[in-house]
Amino acid sequence: MANGRLNQHERYRIHALHEAGCSLRGIAFALDRAPSTISRELRRNSPGRCYDPAQAQRISDHRRSQASRRKRIGPEHIARIEACLREDWSPEQVAGATGLASHEWIYQHIYAEQRRGGTLFKTLRRCRRQRRRRGMRDGRGQLRHRRSWRERPAVVEQRSRLGDWEIDSMHASSGKTVVVTMTERRSRLHLLAKSADRTAENVMRAIVGRLGRVRDGVHTLTADNGKEFAEHQTIAASLQADVYFADPYSAWQRGSNENANGLTRQYLPRGMDFAAITDEQLRWVEQRLNTRPRKTLGFKTPLDVFVKEFSNCVANQS
């Protein structure tokens, strides 16, 4: 099988075979190329609906010329990139916020530094545990008077307003203490509160105590289906908000919170003694997570977005 870049002759053959109705595998077989090579060529070098071999060649040549003129990343820029990584920013966050290098370059720099005995690789995210497949039945029973997440107003799914939260609880491998996590869907602000155990009453107090400070920025809460949220009616009354529930073992229905929980595990691993955690430590973790630029927010930080929109909410209600 041939390797290397496609040439102009091959591009004209791709065009002819594609116009004749040949499948990707058929074209690949005729050119002795991998099917992925043909698929990538048609995807990357077809700005219009039709594949033009001459235009595809020009696009490829331009891409190669741009690659050969990449600027060298100097020591001062590398130092700044590494400083951001040590603040627990991801390579994509560093690339988007600083513009100093692509996230691919930053990953390669981390791996090269690791081979030299460096420690930057430790800043990368840890793998997450597997979860149950969607649709598996729950053996824990149903909460009383629960409302399904499917009953939420359309505005919640649209993320067009501030105040729609997703909540869950994180537990350690041992001990009763849990950390309740609360993620605001629009800004991705992530808040943490400690609860002595997973009893519904203590978890309710943790949620009301934390979100009560931003009551004007709370409209709905979407919770995990755990029994620790059995006091959801008290939570709703205290915060003057509506509470909904995801389906059992369907964390994807609370995607923002699930993603934030994965990031939180970098600081609160399962082997940690949650009983020894102080409120100051939880505020520090919040600060680390909420001051990272996010691609989905145009590389603004969750804290910046939340503060700006929450201030507008308060001003509009006064």
pLDDT tens string 56-85:
898 888 877 766 555 678 899 999 999 999
Spans of all domains in the chain:
8-68, 75-123, 149-317
pTM over 0.85: no
Residue among 130, 226, 237, 250 nearest 178 (CA): 226
Q: Is 141 a residue whose pLDDT tops 60?
A: no
Phi-psi region of 166 (alpha: psi -120 to 50; beta: other; left: phi over 0): beta
Q: Which fold has domain 149-317?
A: Nucleotidyltransferase; domain 5 (3.30.420)
pLDDT tens string 202-240:
999 999 999 999 999 999 999 988 899 999 999 999 999
Measured CA to CA, the distance from residue 288 to residue 89 in angstroms comes to 9
- C-alpha distances (whole Å) from 18 to each of 3, 23, 32, 289 are 21, 7, 15, 48
Kindly tell me the burial class for residue 304, based on how many C-beta atoms sit within 10 Å of its own C-beta (0-12, 13-18, 19 or more): middle
Report the half-sphere exposure of 70 (CA within 13 A, side-chain side). 11
